[in-house]
Structure 1
Amino acid sequence: MKRGQDVPDSRSKAVRIASSHLITSCATAAAIILFVALGSQVVPAAFDGLQVQAHDNALSVAFILNIAIILFGWRRSKDLKEALDAYDKAERLAERNANTDPATGLANRRELMSALELSLAAKSSGVLLLLDLDHFKRVNDLHGHLAGDKLLKIVADALVDEAPADSCCARIGGDEFAILLDGASAKEAEKVAQGILSRLSKPVDLGTVRVFVSASIGLSQVRKLQKEEDVLRESDFALYAAKRAGRNCFAWFDPELERELTDRVQLEEDIRSGIENGEFVPFFQPLIDLTSRELVGFEALARWRSPTRGFLEAETFIEAAEKTGLIGPLTISVVEQALKEARDWPPHLKIAINVSPVQFRDPQLAQHIMKVVTEAGFPAHRLEVEITEASLLEDREQVLATIGSLKNVGISISLDDFGTGYASLSQVNTLPIDRIKIDKSFISTIVKSEQTAAIVNTITSLGHTLNVPITAEGIESEQVRNELGKYGCAEGQGYLFGRPLSADTVRTFLDMKERNDGRESPSESEEEARPKIRRSW
């Protein structure tokens, strides 16, 4: 039975009990009146020793039956009264449970929304304060759920102490709380928020352990003509702003923030549907041997052919995909397409793919990549997986295990964007990497800055010492390429050699290279591909 049907059924049951009790009470009262009337005739006759006639016998029988009815009615009325009292008690308990959070004793979400509805109906001003504990899951994971429940009760007590007596303090789910400050000004609301933050900044004693917690708080004004859901949503946006500002602080709702978050949510939904519809495709940027000037491979880069947003580069969607956990399926989809496309290319050409640091949280990452390689029929030794220095901030042991599994099947590993992250020279010496890629921010200024040139020289010298080849990213001029030649960089990529290209364009270009370069009349497809990719480097 649906929850909405419980209330009417319960009320009808109460009405039936009350009706039965009333009818029984009335019947018993009538029986008592009749008892008195009959008794006034039967009892005197019995005491006077009068001859009882047939009519008197009937009165005597009726009198006795009336006594039985009175006794039965009294007992029945008593039972019904007890049932009605029990129902009233259960009704009060159910109502209290329906509006109270059992873990903290605060109001629950239902009661908060009712209080907010009343406040809006009265057209009174106020502030809704939404609070979320920072890293509460860590307390549960480290100390158990009993400690977590105790912490929630302590937080609830702090809210009650800091908020005015007439406020509605509620726990609305998980580690999320709310306070409705009816009639409060912005200054008064900020005072309450600051008091809560100060209270929670102190160590919390959970009995066996002491923990340090903090909270993020979102504030929104309760305004006329709003709906309850709108006020709660605005507080939620403000809470997000507080978390983005570094947590352990409060923030007010900002309409601009709402537009930003709405756009972001829509972007995330579009990414999800884009993965399902195959809108993310690989584009390929040439990798060139700087000594022989020969093409040695391509780096596969994700591009989004969105029917509503147009053609987008990775910078516009990678961060959103990482934060929503969609980066894994997105990357695997693009890699799968890239490897199926490249498996029939000349066997000396390699494919380099990027792996986000977020993906290293998945202990099955190596298995996912190896499965794609196997299903695509792509030789593992032609695949190079690029990891960034930020990946080393994840679980180092898991990262090393993933790298080891990939190398065991012949896949090579390169350290991408070197110089911009957290890896030190000593760390590089201990990592099982096959290549170092210098970030383009250094390459683009190498001819303008002696300091940058010195850094590039140091990195290339390190590579020579460790016998690890160096690739330079972002080469856009002959001058930069000639400068890199002095340092012994092995490979390079950048707009000097070609921008990222579609699979069709690369296929056309590779077909061109297999034909006779001296042919006088190039085909139409060759002419179309010529300005997009250089035929020699």
Structure 2
Amino acid sequence: MIAPRQKVDPNVKRVRTKAVRIASSHIITTCATIAATLLFVAIGSRIVPEALAGLPPVDASGTLQVAFLLNIAIILFGWRRSKDLKEALEAYEAADRLARENANTDPGTGLANRRELMRALKEMLMAGTPGVLLLLDLDHFKHINDLHGHAAGDRVLRAVATALEKSAPAGACSARTGGDEFAMLFRCAEDAEAERVARSIQQHLADPVLVDGAQVQASASIGLARIERRDDEETALRRSDVALYAAKRGGRNAFAWFDAELELELSDRLKLEEDIRHGIRNGEFVPYFQPLIDLASQEIVGFEALARWCSPDGSMLEAESFIEAAERTGLVGPLTLSIIEQSMRQARDWPAHLKLAVNISPIQFRDPTLAEQILKLLAATGFPANRLEIEITEGSLLEDRQQVLTIIESLKNVGVRISLDDFGTGYASLAQVNRLPLDRIKIDKSFITTIVKSQRTAEIVNTIAGLGHTLDVPISAEGVESEQIRAALERFGCTEAQGWLYGRAISGDAVRSFLKMSGGGVAAGEGQAIPAKLRRSR
């Protein structure tokens, strides 16, 4: 595979262009000075002897004398100009060296950047040198920034750089590739040597970072992959990334090797990612709808749209089987927006009092145009904004908090409701929850399903419900599977519920059929009926 030509940094390009211009001017000035000197010698050989001998000038008009003096002036000017240009050229050559260093260096840590890492990786692959590519990702770095501030985060990044430099073998290329991600490329013939490097890095990171008198503890997950000559740069990076993912999945603060088993996993992962791309293009992702129940009246107050994948083999896959891959590849945005648009078009014809709840991935909050995209869907489908409820997770609060708040406020301004989903499983603090303009808090089903078996879990749910009452925010629960759970939630003061007790998610056609009935279930062919005991609220 032919590696793509690396782009020259614009700053380096500008400096080099200026240096070339100065060098050209220097050459021209030098040539002009030499020519003037030669002319000076030629004219002077006639004028000077005549002047010394006291003879009258051959050129009575004085032209030669003027030319002689003019040549002296040109020579002096050329010498001075040449000296200035030489100094300027030396300055720009120094600037060129500095620009090239900056173009290949991460300013925050002083390590190499991704550009320099890729250059070194390409060089190693072409040489066929046995080596290892190590990728490092800080565990919960966003949490460090949120809890201790960005200054602490910067100190931790510099601590990682120090750990890499202290652990690096001779000739290694240590780089910061972006955010809280780092890499090290080094010559290595033995796995044990690479593992010693990984352990050394983690041992150095075990030392707390002191920030304003507070100790900040950091840890990192590491992926290791052997460099093979037949690989290209992207393959080597992908293998290390898969190993890094395996390390994180294994509990974090660990390292993992890319091996044959992960090779198969990588192949399956790449196939899944390509199938998702194909599925989005071909409209294979559709919304299914799970009823939302008012606990006091036991009536349906809306539906939550859940993504389903109608795969080409005829199977119906739930979101758990593909959403992580969609987030990893950046496809979660177009996938989610497609589900939302389809849901709006179908829910537009429901009774006006029924709301539509949709989920937004934390990844999508990295896009500052998210609110604008949703508002465009509302306009395109004609769906009322006040019937839309956006469900965000606690993970969203670990993104850029100001940007998240701006997006939420933009949606709230047009009447969209905001719900905090899966509450209790993430890092949301009470202060963060209090600052958000929430319309609802939904307790994660991991608490709800064990509420009647564990007194401790019941107390946690009761506490969350009390928090909702204090904040004047209604509390919902997902994962309601029995009458006992429903009764407990009602005692705690929860206002809304969903779960298998009330019905599994069904297709849009099944929802329409159900809503045409006044208390009956869905068509028998659906196989996932909404219990007939539920009444359609009027």
Q: Once the two structures are superposed, what CA deviation does each residue of 1:153-176 show, in whole Å capped at 9, x if it has no partner?
A: xx99996xx34xxxx978999786
Q: How does 1:3-42 map to 2 (within 5 A)?
A: none
Secondary structure in structure 1 of the residue aligned to 2:391: strand
Q: How does 1:482-521 map to 2 (within 5 A)?
A: 482-513=487-518
Q: Paired residue for 1:130?
A: 133
2:202 and 2:450 map into 1 onto residues whose CA distance is 46
Q: Paired residue for 2:330?
A: 325
Distance 1:130 1:410, change over 3 A: same
1:395 and 1:235 map into 2 onto residues whose CA distance is 27
Q: How does 1:44-55 map to 2 (within 5 A)?
A: none
* Preserved contact between residue 223 and residue 241 of structure 2 (Cα < 8 Å): yes
Distance 1:500 1:102, change over 3 A: closer
Q: Name structure 1 gaps, 5 residues minimum.
A: 4-100, 120-126, 143-150, 203-212
Q: Paired residue for 1:24?
A: none
2:233 and 2:409 map into 1 onto residues whose CA distance is 51
Instruction: Select the residue among 367, 370, 384 that pairs with 2:389.
Output: 384
Q: Paired residue for 1:112?
A: 124
Distance 1:383 1:134, change over 3 A: closer
1:243 and 1:432 map into 2 onto residues whose CA distance is 35
1:199 and 1:395 map into 2 onto residues whose CA distance is 29
Q: Paired residue for 1:274?
A: 279
Q: How does 1:456-467 map to 2 (within 5 A)?
A: 456-467=461-472
2:219 and 2:493 map into 1 onto residues whose CA distance is 52
Q: Paired residue for 1:241?
A: 243
Q: Does 1:259 align with 2:264?
A: yes
1:443 and 1:369 map into 2 onto residues whose CA distance is 31
Question: 1:287: how far off?
Answer: 0.7
Question: 1:397: how far off?
Answer: 1.4
Secondary structure in structure 1 of the residue aligned to 2:515: helix
Question: 1:275: how far off?
Answer: 0.9
* Preserved contact between residue 219 and residue 235 of structure 1 (Cα < 8 Å): no
Q: Once the two structures are superposed, what CA deviation does each residue of 1:53-80 show, in whole Å capped at 9, x if it has no partner?
A: xxxxxxxxxxxxxxxxxxxxxxxxxxxx
Q: Does 1:469 align with 2:474?
A: yes
2:461 and 2:173 map into 1 onto residues whose CA distance is 58
* Preserved contact between residue 242 and residue 258 of structure 2 (Cα < 8 Å): no
Q: How does 1:179-328 map to 2 (within 5 A)?
A: 179-181=186-188, 184-188=189-193, 190=195, 228-229=230-231, 233=235, 237-238=239-240, 240-242=242-244, 245=247, 251-308=256-313, 310-328=315-333
Question: 1:319: how far off?
Answer: 1.1
1:470 and 1:131 map into 2 onto residues whose CA distance is 45
Q: Once the two structures are superposed, what CA deviation does each residue of 1:91-124 show, in whole Å capped at 9, x if it has no partner?
A: xxxxxxxxxx9999998556534432xx7xxxxx
Question: 1:427: how far off?
Answer: 3.4
Question: 1:279: how far off?
Answer: 0.7
1:367 and 1:448 map into 2 onto residues whose CA distance is 45
The CA RMSD measured in Å over matched residues stands at 4.4
* Preserved contact between residue 237 and residue 253 of structure 1 (Cα < 8 Å): yes
Q: Paired residue for 1:536?
A: 533
What amino acid is aligned across from residue 465 of structure 1 in structure 2?
T
Moved more, 226-235 or 398-407: 226-235
What amino acid is aligned across from residue 247 of structure 2 in structure 1?
A
Question: 1:186: how far off?
Answer: 3.9
* Preserved contact between residue 109 and residue 172 of structure 1 (Cα < 8 Å): no
1:530 and 1:418 map into 2 onto residues whose CA distance is 31
Question: 1:446: how far off?
Answer: 1.9
1:172 and 1:432 map into 2 onto residues whose CA distance is 41
Q: Paired residue for 2:442?
A: 437
Number of residues of Structure 1 aligned to a counterpart in Structure 2: 393
Secondary structure in structure 1 of the residue aligned to 2:517: helix
Question: 1:394: how far off?
Answer: 1.4
What amino acid is aligned across from residue 528 of structure 1 in structure 2?
G
Which structure has the larger Rg?
A: 1
1:332 and 1:112 map into 2 onto residues whose CA distance is 42
2:418 and 2:104 map into 1 onto residues whose CA distance is 53
Secondary structure in structure 1 of the residue aligned to 2:427: coil
What amino acid is aligned across from residue 131 of structure 2 in structure 1?
L
2:219 and 2:486 map into 1 onto residues whose CA distance is 52
Instruction: Select the residue among 376, 379, 382 that pairs with 1:374.
Output: 379
Secondary structure in structure 1 of the residue aligned to 2:127: helix
TM-score (norm. length: structure 2): 0.62
Secondary structure in structure 2 of the residue aligned to 1:298: strand
Q: Does 1:414 align with 2:413?
A: no
Q: Paired residue for 2:347?
A: 342
Q: Paired residue for 2:213?
A: none
2:296 and 2:404 map into 1 onto residues whose CA distance is 33
Percent identical among aligned pairs is: 55
2:135 and 2:261 map into 1 onto residues whose CA distance is 22
What amino acid is aligned across from residue 487 of structure 1 in structure 2?
F
Q: Paired residue for 2:95?
A: none
1:323 and 1:371 map into 2 onto residues whose CA distance is 25
What amino acid is aligned across from residue 505 of structure 1 in structure 2?
A
Q: Paired residue for 1:423?
A: 428
What amino acid is aligned across from residue 132 of structure 2 in structure 1?
L
Distance 1:365 1:172, change over 3 A: closer
